[in-house]
Amino acid sequence: MFKGVIFNKKDIHFYVMLLSAPVLLTLYRYQGCPEYFYEYFPTLVDNPQADIYARYWQFIIFFLLMFVLPVGYVKFVMKKPLSGFGLRIGDIKYGSKWLITIPFVVAPLIFLSSQMPDIRAEYPLAKTLMIDQQHLLGYELMYVVFYYIAWEFYFRGFLLFGLKDRFGAVNAILIQTISSCLIHIGKPEGEIIGSIVVGILFGMIALRSRSVWYVFLIHASIGVLTDIFVIYFN
């Protein structure tokens, strides 16, 4: 029926990985938005911490879509070890170099960017934290565990490690960079452009270290530092 279109059953897992990006990101865009939290839980709209709860909802939905589902697919459908998708220690010596270098280099840049109006308008995601920090620790823990672990496993683990053998390392890095960039749409322009550079860099670090944990620690520290700088350095 579709001349020239060849479906290879041996590549079914690669097709699923590629299609997972538009499908999961679309589901997250619509089901993980805080607006849907208020629709599902209208009684919490007037709660003083409503926007914090809405972000918890967002982080949990993201975790279910981008971590639980891919992990389940790898374990029970592909029947492969998660270590092959970056969930392992990998090259400690190489990864540690980046853990030491990047924070010291990037922290001053994060501080400067945190003073920009568009960044301050975006972060922290839960605006209640600007006036009341009693839930800050719990919020940041949720942010790191449910959002950043899922982020790095999906983009730098499931997509990157999953596709590199079929499409090559460079193509796999570009595919996960394109996907992770699209999820930034709606955020400040500088952050979107930066996500392209970071996507490529983090992809290379993950492949070279054979682990997603080093880029997870770097990425999460950037997110947390941005919140702290915005909140405490007005």
pLDDT in tens, 86-122: 999 999 999 999 998 877 788 899 999 999 999 999 9
The pLDDT score that the predictor gives to residue 42 is 86
Is-cis flag, bond preceding 103, omega within 30? no
Average pLDDT, stretch 164-177? Answer: 97
The pLDDT score that the predictor gives to residue 102 is 78
> Would you say residue 40 has pLDDT above 90?
no
Residue 99 burial (10 A CB sphere; 0-12, 13-18, 19+): middle
Average pLDDT, stretch 63-76? Answer: 98
pLDDT class for 39, splitting at 50, 70, 90? confident
The pLDDT score that the predictor gives to residue 72 is 98
Cβ count near 12 (within 10 Å): 12
Cα torsion at 112, 228, 150, 98 (round to 10°)? 50
Sign of CA dihedral 53, 59, 60, 62: positive
Find, among 8, 13, 6, 12, the residue nearest to 161 by Cα. Answer: 13
Token pair in block for residue 104 = 């010291």
pLDDT class for 1, splitting at 50, 70, 90? low
Distance CA 234, CA 225 (A): 14
User: Which residue is associated with the tokens 């060849």?
Assistant: 6
pLDDT above 90 covers a percentage of the chain that reads 84
Q: What is the mean pLDDT of the chain?
A: 94
pTM over 0.85: yes
Tens of pLDDT, residues 127-160: 999 999 999 999 999 999 999 999 999 999 999 9
The pLDDT score that the predictor gives to residue 56 is 96
Hey, where are the domains in the chain?
9-232
